[in-house]
């Protein structure tokens, strides 16, 4: 008897908590930027596990690193350290333009945990207020949720940790008006991910750095989605704008769970023994996976590849008049449609063999593996007009 998607869907509903709704597919195998479902259908993965699978699926370098490390030393607890943990901390500081001694890293298992660590770190300044942008997403745990602006996520769990002020994203004047001498940190995504790949105006992060300095606050940049090569650079923020805290996860492990809270300069010393902890953070296998991801991005020239291929995708998507706007950098692409049909577009894309994300009613988000091929990008662009035809046959191409 053949087991189908429908069989697993009913078993999922009967045994897994209903926090995500029904799964769109039951996936069983992946290779590069392609995945296959339980019924044998093939798809081009243009979401990459939501900006996670930097090297795609089954990359030999990642498989070898995890297998070798797990066969050598799997877990040791935080009473000890390992070579991969130390080497990864040094590499992350180096990628941020620093050196050992110019910052410190706290390893976690996910992005929300990295942001929880950073949130606690800001409390060590003696201040409590955090200024955050509207449209932000920083995680689902209680502290990170308090810093996430979407009411639908927040309301069921209030009261949340307080003293959080939300301001319009990209508005430097509103930011300057909100930051005071009570502010512990300004928290921003260099490019907002869940909001639909929203890029701020030129100079916005520099203005945030200036206003934080003016009031003695920390500048905290959440690069959980935008970091680790996603934009064609290691990090989305301008290297000339030096943050105090950077949080990363998602693409860092290429699919293996790992995150990091990176404190630069004096911010790296704010958390002391007893202030925070984690059982699995800094696990040797996770750190080995992350080192393999960084090494492979360098060896395969994936930063330049993401830059070139991302431009091709943005240009091709923007050519259709039913697309009102295309944004992003590298292989972090968002677009606005002329009507509220993003769910229909995502469903039509899936039927055509492409996985995309409907971030908001009008917005589509793409965050494919950095190893996405030119051929796969071309195939998607060739299919794109037909996908829109199916999803919005009556659209005129004029702004609704």
Would the pLDDT of 394 be above 60?
Answer: yes
Question: DSSP class of residue 198?
Answer: B
Is this structure's pTM higher than 0.85?
yes
Options 104, 106, 107, 222, the catalytic residue: 222
Return d(Cα 363, Cα 351) in angstroms, integer.
19
Residue in the block written with tokens 């229909």? 344
Which tokens in the block code for residue 76? 């040791």
Return d(Cα 288, Cα 98) in angstroms, integer.
21
pLDDT on residue 399: 39
Return d(Cα 32, Cα 50) in angstroms, integer.
15
What residues does each domain of the chain span?
5-58+301-391, 73-299
- Asked if the bond preceding 105 is cis, omega within 30° of 0, the reply is no
Closest CA to 45 of 371, 322, 305: 371
Active site residue 137: yes
pLDDT on residue 71: 98
Return d(Cα 110, Cα 258) in angstroms, integer.
5
Options 250, 320, 354, 380, the catalytic residue: 250
Return d(Cα 45, Cα 30) in angstroms, integer.
9
CATH number of 73-299: 3.40.640.10
Active site residue 266: no
pLDDT (average), residues 307-324 = 98
CATH number of 5-58+301-391: 3.90.1150.10
- Segment 96-125, tens digit of pLDDT: 997 777 899 999 999 999 999 999 999 999
How far, in Å, are 148, 149, 279, 328 from residue 194 at the CA level? 11, 11, 29, 13
Phi, then psi, of 230 in degrees rounded to 5? -55, -40
Options 106, 137, 235, 332, the catalytic residue: 137
Active site residue 222: yes
Strand order in the sheet with 218-222: 103-108, 259-264, 245-248, 218-222, 183-188, 129-133, 164-167
């Amino acid at each position: 008897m053949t087991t189908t998607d429908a069989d697993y869907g009913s078993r999922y509903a009967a045994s897994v908590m209903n926090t995500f709704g029904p799964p769109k597919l039951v996936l069983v195998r992946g290779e590069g930027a392609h995945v296959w479902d339980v019924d044998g259908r093939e798809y081009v993965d243009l979401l990459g596990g939501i900006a996670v699978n930097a090297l795609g699926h089954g990359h030999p370098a990642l498989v070898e690193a995890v297998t070798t490390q797990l066969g050598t030393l799997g877990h040791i607890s935080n009473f000890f350290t390992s070579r991969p943990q130390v080497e990864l901390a040094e590499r992350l500081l180096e990628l941020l333009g620093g050196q050992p001694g110019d910052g410190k890293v706290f390893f976690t298992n996910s992005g929300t945990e990295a942001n929880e660590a950073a949130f606690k770190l800001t409390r060590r300044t003696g201040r409590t207020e955090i200024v955050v942008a509207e449209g932000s997403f920083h995680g689902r745990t209680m502290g990170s949720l308090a810093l996430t602006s979407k009411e639908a996520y927040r309301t069921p769990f209030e009261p949340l940790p307080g003293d959080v002020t939300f301001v319009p994203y990209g508005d430097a004047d509103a930011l300057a008006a909100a930051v005071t001498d009570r502010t512990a940190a300004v928290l921003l995504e260099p490019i907002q991910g869940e909001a639909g790949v929203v890029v701020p105006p030129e100079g916005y992060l520099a203005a945030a750095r200036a206003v934080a300095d003016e009031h003695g606050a920390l500048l905290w940049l959440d690069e959980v989605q935008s970091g680790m090569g996603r934009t064609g650079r290691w990090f989305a923020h301008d290297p000339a704008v030096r943050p105090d805290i950077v949080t990363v996860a998602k693409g860092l492990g290429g699919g293996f769970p790992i995150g990091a809270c990176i404190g630069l300069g004096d911010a790296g010393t704010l958390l002391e023994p007893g202030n925070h902890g984690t059982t699995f953070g800094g696990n040797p296998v996770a750190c080995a996976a992350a080192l393999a991801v960084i090494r492979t991005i360098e060896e395969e020239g994936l930063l330049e590849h993401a830059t070139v291929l991302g431009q091709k995708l943005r240009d091709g998507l923007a050519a259709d008049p039913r697309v009102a706007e295309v944004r992003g950098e590298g292989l972090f692409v968002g677009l606005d449609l002329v009507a509220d049909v993003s769910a229909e577009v995502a469903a039509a894309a899936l039927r055509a063999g492409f996985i995309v994300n409907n971030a908001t009613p009008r917005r589509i988000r793409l965050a494919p593996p950095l190893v996405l091929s030119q051929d796969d990008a071309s195939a998607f662009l060739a299919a794109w007009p037909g996908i829109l035809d199916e999803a919005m046959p009556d659209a005129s191409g004029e702004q609704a």
